[in-house]
């Protein structure tokens, strides 16, 4: 016990140094604007999970407060708010900003493109992440993949589609690039706010609607009025993104930069798992209720979608050298990846 006074003396001397070091580290109180309404299954969860993990991994050195569109009023304006620095961070999806820069479009998904496994391989090992940041650096944004919906369903239709001519003049809620694809084959894509979709479908203002997958679609109630549920082609694994204002990101210490990158990656992979899990349960429930008729689009419809998509991608590639680089990078990787997917996933799924 004779060492006790010496030990106490050391603690008394060293303790202030430790606390001083800890308190000398700045605490970052950042704000994140998300595109999703408060409480949206999976999507809001993903933003919250990212913020919580950053706070825990940084031992409270970075606290991120999340604002939903109810507060910031600009669900599709995350790009501008993060670029300008009015929010340090955002949780959104790259394809909302094709009007700002066509090269941003296909970082979310490409019709007939990569599935989530192929997409992750492209992002994390096939140059996708570097390309994402080459495009976004011009806009003062650092971007990370930040959540994946898994393969989305092709949508709810009031009437069965037996051939391409059944699509003629059909009004469907289907936004973005896929909307342009269906327009090219004679449909009328419309953009209606989520809160008004059920009524629009019920009253026949629209004939069809695509949303996400069973877990989110079930809550919207579409299956009660449009029983034909088509399998997907247009969003084969839509990726969400974490945006960070680049000037502010560049001032962070290296460990916080890494924490943000790791938390975003974890969120991306976690949301893919959560989406798969919740869709599995929601689809089981829908099947038990017996009101949903699952269908795949006929071959002439899929051929027409594919042709229109290929033409639009060529047009898109002509809009900017960066858009061309993204499209070609994905295409080149997918050509190799799909050969492998076919002899692994596809062959495995054929086993009985
Ligand atoms: Ca969708």
* Fold agreement (25-149+237-277, 155-234+290-321): yes
* CA atoms in the 13 A half-sphere facing the CB of 182: 25
pLDDT 10s digits, 148-190: 999 999 999 999 999 999 999 999 999 889 999 999 999 999 9
The first and second tokens of residue 242, run together, are 């974490």
Look at residue 350 in the predicted model and tell me its pLDDT: 95
Distance 233 CA to ligand 1 centre (A): 11
Distance 178 CA to ligand 1 centre (A): 9
Nearest residue to 316 (alpha-carbon basis) of 143, 132, 177, 187: 177
- What is the CATH number assigned to the segment(s) 155-234+290-321? 3.40.190.10
Dist. CA 345–CA 262, nearest whole Å? 28
CB 266 within 8 A of CB 53: yes
Q: Which CATH architecture has domain 25-149+237-277?
A: 3-Layer(aba) Sandwich (3.40)
Distance 29 CA to ligand 1 centre (A): 33
Distance 131 CA to ligand 1 centre (A): 24
Distance 96 CA to ligand 1 centre (A): 12
Distance 237 CA to ligand 1 centre (A): 10
The first and second tokens of residue 289, run together, are 């209720």
Distance 109 CA to ligand 1 centre (A): 10
Distance 139 CA to ligand 1 centre (A): 26
Nearest residue to 154 (alpha-carbon basis) of 111, 107, 206, 104: 111
Look at residue 20 in the predicted model and tell me its pLDDT: 44
Look at residue 125 in the predicted model and tell me its pLDDT: 98
Nearest residue to 113 (alpha-carbon basis) of 104, 122, 101: 122
Distance 173 CA to ligand 1 centre (A): 9
Dist. CA 66–CA 56, nearest whole Å? 16
Cβ atoms within 10 A of the Cβ of 100, count? 12
Distance 154 CA to ligand 1 centre (A): 8
Dist. CA 347–CA 207, nearest whole Å? 36
Distance 1 CA to ligand 1 centre (A): 70
Distance 234 CA to ligand 1 centre (A): 8
pLDDT 10s digits, 280-315: 999 999 999 888 999 999 999 999 999 999 999 999
Distance 281 CA to ligand 1 centre (A): 19
Distance 236 CA to ligand 1 centre (A): 10
Distance 338 CA to ligand 1 centre (A): 23
* CA atoms in the 13 A half-sphere facing the CB of 165: 0
Look at residue 18 in the predicted model and tell me its pLDDT: 43
Distance 152 CA to ligand 1 centre (A): 6
pLDDT tens-digit profile, the chain (352 residues): 455 556 555 555 555 444 444 557 899 999 999 999 899 889 999 999 999 999 999 999 999 999 999 999 999 999 999 999 999 999 999 999 999 999 999 999 999 999 999 999 999 999 999 999 999 999 999 999 999 999 999 999 999 999 999 999 999 999 889 999 999 999 999 988 778 899 999 999 999 999 999 999 998 999 999 999 999 999 999 999 999 999 999 999 999 999 999 999 999 999 999 999 999 999 999 999 888 999 999 999 999 999 999 999 999 999 899 999 999 999 999 999 999 999 999 999 999 7
Dist. CA 203–CA 64, nearest whole Å? 42
pTM of the full structure:
0.90
Distance 162 CA to ligand 1 centre (A): 22
Q: Helix (H) and strand (E) counts for the chain?
A: 14, 11
Distance 245 CA to ligand 1 centre (A): 27
Distance 212 CA to ligand 1 centre (A): 4
Look at residue 16 in the predicted model and tell me its pLDDT: 45
Distance 22 CA to ligand 1 centre (A): 45
Distance 194 CA to ligand 1 centre (A): 11
Dihedral Cα 110, 116, 120, 121, nearest 10 deg: -90
Distance 222 CA to ligand 1 centre (A): 14
Distance 27 CA to ligand 1 centre (A): 38
Q: Which long-range contacts (CB under 8 A, 24 or more apart) does 209-212 make?
A: 209/155, 209/156, 209/172, 209/173, 209/174, 210/152, 210/153, 210/154, 210/155, 210/156, 210/172, 210/173, 210/174, 210/178, 210/234, 210/235, 211/153, 211/155, 211/156, 212/149, 212/152, 212/153
Domain ranges of the chain: 25-149+237-277, 155-234+290-321
* CA atoms in the 13 A half-sphere facing the CB of 213: 28
């Amino acid at each position: 016990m004779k060492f006790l006074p010496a030990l106490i003396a050391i603690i008394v001397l060293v303790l202030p140094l430790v606390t001083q070091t800890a308190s000398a580290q700045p605490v970052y109180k950042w704000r994140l604007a998300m595109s999703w309404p408060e409480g949206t299954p999976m999507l809001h969860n993903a933003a919250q999970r990212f913020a919580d993990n950053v706070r825990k991994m940084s031992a409270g050195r970075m606290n991120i407060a999340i604002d939903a569109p109810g507060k910031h009023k600009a669900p599709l304006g995350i790009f501008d708010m993060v670029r300008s620095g009015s929010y340090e961070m955002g949780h959104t999806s790259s394809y909302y900003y094709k009007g700002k820069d066509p090269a941003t479009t296909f970082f979310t998904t490409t019709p007939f493109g990569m599935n989530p496994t192929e997409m992750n391989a492209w992002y994390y090992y096939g140059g996708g992440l570097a390309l994402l940041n080459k495009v976004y650096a011009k806009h003062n944004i650092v971007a990370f993949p930040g959540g994946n919906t898994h393969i989305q369903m092709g949508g709810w239709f009031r009437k069965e589609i037996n051939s391409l001519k059944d699509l003629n003049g059909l009004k469907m809620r289907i936004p973005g690039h896929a909307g342009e694809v269906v327009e090219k084959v004679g449909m009328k894509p419309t953009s209606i706010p989520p809160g008004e979709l059920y009524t629009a479908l019920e009253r026949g203002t629209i004939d069809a609607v695509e949303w996400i997958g069973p877990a989110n679609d079930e809550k919207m109630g579409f299956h009660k009025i449009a029983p034909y549920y088509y399998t997907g082609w247009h969003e084969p694994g839509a990726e969400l993104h974490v945006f960070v204002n680049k000037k502010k990101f560049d001032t962070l210490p290296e460990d916080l930069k890494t924490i943000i990158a790791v938390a975003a990656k974890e969120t991306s992979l976690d949301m893919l798992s959560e989406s798969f899990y919740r869709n599995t349960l929601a689809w089981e429930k829908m099947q038990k209720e017996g009101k949903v008729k699952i269908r795949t689009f006929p071959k002439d419809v899929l051929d027409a979608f594919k042709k229109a998509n290929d033409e639009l991608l060529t047009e898109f590639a002509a809009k900017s050298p960066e858009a061309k680089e993204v499209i070609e990078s994905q295409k080149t990787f997918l050509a190799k990846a799909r050969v492998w997917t076919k002899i692994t996933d596809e062959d495995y799924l054929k086993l009985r």
